[in-house]
Structure 1
Amino acid sequence: MYAVVATGGKQYRVEAGEILRVEKLAGDVGAEVAFDQVLMLGDGDNVRVGQPLVEGASVKGRIVEQGKGKKIIVFKFKRRKRYRRKQGHRQLFTAVRIDTIEA
């Protein structure tokens, strides 16, 4: 069984037992997390699509890791104007292990 959930402004296709990296969520490692915005449920031939959400469906998981992603470099440059700006950024993330999908 799989589900499509919305969190952090993005949509993710998840299955039970999978580890998912999402935008930072509040909570410590080991805390339980519930995703209530379930957009779609699928189980083989049976597919339930919400309008916009599937009624009574939720996805539960547990926080595995809180961390920072790889560094990206933001570099702004204007030629012949002596303008250069260099800035680094590391996006915060939360790794969640999906335990159950409840329909």
Structure 2
Amino acid sequence: MIKRVVNILVLIPIAIVLIVLSVANRQAVTLALNPFRPEDSVLSVTAPFFVYLFLAVILGLVIGSFATWFTQGKYRKRARIEASEAVKWHSEAEKHKAIAAQAVVPVSGK
């Protein structure tokens, strides 16, 4: 419930800001990918400015996600190793439990 409220309180203002930016930045802008001849139409793209803004945000999210994923690799590797060790120790404990159940020693009363 709290997560839903927080998502609404965060996502609604972000959506409003993005809509306002989209409406305010509708003019066409040319992105020239050739720094030596910017007038070259082969390496240039014309689109509304808000498209470039959205692409920059999406690219930043993707790069940030990959950076986070790569930096957390050592923790994921450690978790895999510890999970396999836990399975190994659990099976070892089950094996010893079965051996102990078979080796019931009768108690003689003196």
- Same-fold status (TM-score > 0.5): no
Bigger Rg, which one = 2
Determine which structure has the larger strand proportion and give its number: 1
Q: Which category describes the TM-score, using the shorter chain as reference length?
A: under 0.3
More helix by share: 2
- Per chain length, whose mean CA-contact separation is higher, i.e. which structure has more relative contact order (CA < 8 Å, sep 6+)? 1
TM-score, scaled to structure 2? 0.19
